[in-house]
Amino acid sequence: MKNKLLFLWNYHYFPFEKGKSRFSDLLDAFVKEGYQVEVITSSFYHMGKVQRDIADPKYQGLGYEVTFVKEPGYKKNVSFARIRSMNHFNAGVKKILKTHEPVDVVYIPVPSIKLAAIGEKWCKKVGAKSVIDVEDLWPESFRMIIKPKLFYQMFTWRLMVSANKVYQRADGVVAVSQSYMNRVKSVRCGSFPSAVAPIGSDLKYVSRLMEQQHMDKPENEFWLSYIGTLGKSYDLKMVIDALGQLEKRGVKGIVFKVMGSGPDEANLKVYAASKKCHVEFLGLLPYDKMIQILACSDLAVNPIVGDSVASLINKVADYSACGVPTINTQNCQEYIDALDSTHSGMTVPDGMTDLFADTLALLVNNPSLLQSYKKNVSALANQFFSRESSNTKILNLLQGLLN
């Protein structure tokens, strides 16, 4: 008899929607492993900020059952409307679980802390195993928004207590980095079933896309690329400032390809125009189109602000999968060490615009140095960002819990 697995997440998106998430691949891996899988997710498509047509037959035949919770949605990621929408989703899940038949394991990405708490409580009631997948740290991530330390502690202490309980009660823990796993370990005693499994990238799939598609790039252009959200977590203004500096120094031909969208998009477009540098805002692209542009890029940038608690994130995995070296400003020692150990990129502290400009100029003006980094990027991808390897670790964790 097949083991039943229930996947709870309001931010899930499907293979035919823009992007290619860790969880689309992981759910396929669960099905192939023989699990009977059900997904409870939201009617609201977070990435596109639109309501899904849940009656569309394309949500059937995926290899797993899909149950949608009606969620009102929101326009801005940082807003009270988003909080209300999340609460609506959590209440919907709670209602569904009241009459849901028991399963063997419930898999819950974290955040949301509240959703994980609901899932864990239900697991205790029906005798299922709960597995959390720590993708981000809440409330630690809010430090970028709530600057005064005392106010941050007052505002987030309830959420911190809830997060600690979620970490303590999970039967198994997956974390996207060792630093996130260490956060879980800080509130647990002794050993527990766990797996450090970076989000990574589907290296074989990306390789096929790169072989099937090719884009012509003008010989006189140097492509610097960024993928992701255009928001406060990423210091894209610093990158634009550096490009403006290089224009004044006479370093020509750099084209900054910005792939993504977000709340700062309009302001960034105005800012880039004022600096008179070549920035192309390409919007939110289908995954294959994004890979096509990355594959032709000379260099990528990971300009995360210095006070971020992010770790091994999606974009750097896709950069490595496409064989693109990276200039990094993220203050994540795991990622810095990975770049250094494989000699596949350079790190510049966030906010040091002059040094960033100098580093970029060094790589633009020294093709042989850039090429040496490019040769090493495959080692970075294989050692740290193989989604297949991460999925195997997760499947082994589940097997150990259920045996």
Banded model confidence at residue 187, pLDDT cuts 50, 70, 90 = very high
Tokens of 42: 């939201």
Is residue 385 within 8 Å of 321, Cβ to Cβ? yes
Residue-wise pLDDT tens digits, 319-367: 999 999 999 999 999 999 999 999 999 999 999 999 999 999 999 999 9
Asked if residue 317 lies in contact with residue 198, where contact means CB atoms within 8 angstroms, the answer is: yes
Q: Considering only CA atoms, give the Rg of the chain.
A: 22
pTM of the model: 0.90
Cα(224)–Cα(326) distance, rounded to whole angstroms?
9
pLDDT in tens, 208-242: 999 887 788 998 999 999 999 998 889 999 999 99
pLDDT tens digits for range 312-325? 888 999 999 999 99
DSSP state of 66: E
Is residue 13 scored above 90 in pLDDT?
A: no
Residues paired with residue 172 on neighbouring β-strands, in sequence order: 131
In the chain, the domains with their CATH numbers are 4-200+386-402 (3.40.50.2000), 203-384 (3.40.50.2000)
Cβ atoms of 95 and 68 closer than 8 Å: no
Q: Which pLDDT band holds residue 19 (cuts at 50, 70, 90)? A: low
233, 256, 232: which is closest to 244 by C-alpha?
Answer: 256
CA distance 133 to 116: 10
Q: What is the pLDDT of residue 204?
A: 94
Structure-block tokens of residue 190: 């002794």
pLDDT, tens digit (0-9, with 9 covering 90-100), for 104-142:
999 999 999 999 999 999 999 999 999 999 999 988 888
